[in-house]
Structure 1
Amino acid sequence: MEFHEKTISSKNIFQGKIINLRIDDVSLPDGRTAYREIVEHNGGVAIVAVKDKKIVLVKQFRKPLDNTLVEIPAGKLEKNEEPQHCALRELEEETGLIPLNLKPLCSIFTSPGFSNERLHLFFADEFKEGALNRDDDEFMDILYVTLDSALEMIQSGEITDAKSICGILLYSQFIER
């Protein structure tokens, strides 16, 4: 059976700085119709940065969750920006570190049930010092933790962010060995 859904019509509902929202009417594989609410997002990057055998994490408040999260450094892609360029920019902005050996790990879709957002994960473990240059509305602390501590933070629920869990687990399985 073909599982493709054909778009019948599309209506833009909201155009924002970070996301757009549209509703598509679709034809299902069995001939029925349905609608899909779709969040459009330019995507982003996240970096597993390891300095002196410690993973660099940031702790920041996330309004959609009304809570503070511990995450690997990350940021959104500007329109037509290359993921590697974004990763270089975001890591320096958030941590003051400029990676000398940025390596791609993988790309993931964060919520494919309703969004096209794709995150590109990178790894770096050699740096030169740069300058913090956070956005005016960005407030965060920088943490340095061992791999074992990061894995314990995932297990205990202290790290709950999907991109961070994915990046740390990839690092533990493929890079650290």
Structure 2
Amino acid sequence: MTVMPHLPPDAATDLPADEHVADTPEAVHEDRLWCDGGWTARVIKNEDDDGWAVEMIKDGEPEPALVGPWTMGRNKKDPKPLDTAAFNTLVKTASEVLRRHEQQLRAQLHRRVSVAAASGDGELDVTLDIVPEEDEPYALLTAFDAFGEQLAQVQVAVNFKLSRASAASWVENGFRRPG
């Protein structure tokens, strides 16, 4: 097992020497467990068959970002040990999974349409942003001019359907809260 303190490249140097290590998470590089750079890779027994799986967990997250099959070792019984190249590949893959999940969530919570301004001068962007509060979720309907300046914002129900027609109606009605 190799245990090394994990210090960011720009770690403060004005702390006493013993505090540098005490305040910094340690990297762990073991055959079935790697913790480094904000990620943990853990090789686990695959519950679905006789093989092995690896799970990638981002520090501070309760659930793994990625769980996938893991290669058997030469004896066809034990898992292949983790190494630097495998860990780096797993971090890259798990980061991509999280990025795609964030993009999908953003797409579900944010909509945007463009409509003609009531004055006939150009277009307005109208957005609908869902605020997923646990107790009472709501949405914000917002209008922006061609320069990105916010013209109006009203709170609407989460199930408000933003379309070109509903946005145009809102603009034509002087940005009064839709009924």
State if a TM-score over 0.5 links the two structures: no
Which one has the bigger strand percentage? 1
- TM-score, length of structure 2 as denominator length: 0.23
Bigger Rg, structure 1 or 2: 2
